[in-house]
Amino acid sequence: MRPLAHPKPRKDPHAPRAPQSLASLVAPLEALAQEAGNLALTHFSIANRASVEEKGHLDLVTRADREVEALLRRRLQQLCPDDAIYGEEGTSVAGTSGRTWVLDPIDGTFNFVRGGADWAVSIGLYEADRPAFGVIHAPVRRTTLSGGGAVPAHLNGAPLPALTPPIPGRGSIGVGFHPQMATEARLDILRCLWDDMGVTIRCSGSSSMSIVDVARGETDAYVALGDATWDVMAALPILRSPGGTDTIDWSRTRLTDRLRFACGRVQTTQRILDLARI
C-alpha cells in the first residue's frame, strides 16, 4: 500500500512578495524617467506662461510638476505594486515591501519656469532607512543616470568612472540654499568655501544636477542648507557608486526633514565637515 501523498501547501495570495531586484528595474525605470521628462518638455516651451504657483518665497510649483508626479505614481504602482511612494507634490502611497520610492517630478522648478536647462526628473529608492538607488533624467541636457548599491552607476549607458582626488588650486564646489535658510548661515558657508578653502562656487538651482556634476567630476563637492529628501534621494546613491560620500546621518533623518549636509569627493567632503561643521 502506497503512503498517502501530502498536499502541497497553498500560497497565501495576500502574503508580501519579494521585492524585485534593482538590476531588473534599471531599464524600466530609466524608460519611465524619460517618459516623464518628455511630458515635462511638453510644458517647457510655455512654462513661463503656464500655471505657476508659489509654495513660498522663490519656491514654485507648476502644472507640469503635478502631471509628471501623477504619471510617475501611476507607472510605479504598476511596476512595483507592493512599494510605498512619497512625492514632493503630495503623493503618499503606503506599501508592504519595506521600499519607498521618493519622487521629485521636476527638481529645479525655478530653472524650468525661467527656461533654464538645469532641471531633472528624480526617482529615488529609500530602503533600510537610507537612499539605496536612483534614476535621474535631465531632458534638456539629454542626460540619464542610474545606479546605487549593487548596481554600478551609468551615464547614458556608459559606466561612471571612479572619482579621483581633487587637484589643488582647481577646486570647485556647488551650493544650494533654500530661501528659508537664515542669511547669516548661508554667508558662513560661503566664507568658509571662499576664504578657508579657496575654491570657486557654482549654484545651479537644482540639487540633483549639482550632485550629478560632482558624480561626473565637474565639481568636487556640493553643500546644501535646507534641501528636502526628495531633492537628493536619487542622486546620492549614484554619487556613492564612483566613490563619493555624504555627511547625512540617515539613522536620525526622517523623509520629512530638511537637510544640512555636504557630499562629494571624500577628501573635499571631509574638509568641509571639519571647517564648516556641516
Query: Which residue ranges make up the annotated binding site for Mg(2+)?
Result: 88, 104, 106-107, 231
Would you state the cell numbers that stand for residue 160, as one nine-digit string?
A: 561612471
- Cα torsion for 161, 163, 169, 174, to the nearest 10°? 100
* β-sheet bridge partners, residue 158: 155
Kindly state the greatest CA–CA separation across the chain.
Answer: 91
Task: Report the distance separating Cα 122 and Cα 105, nearest Å.
Answer: 6
Closest CA to 153 of 216, 209, 106: 216
Name the phi and psi angles at 45, rounded to 5: -70, -20
Annotated binding site: 88, 104, 106-107, 231
Please say whether the dihedral angle defined by the alpha carbons of residues 148, 234, 105 and 113, taken in this order, is positive or negative. negative
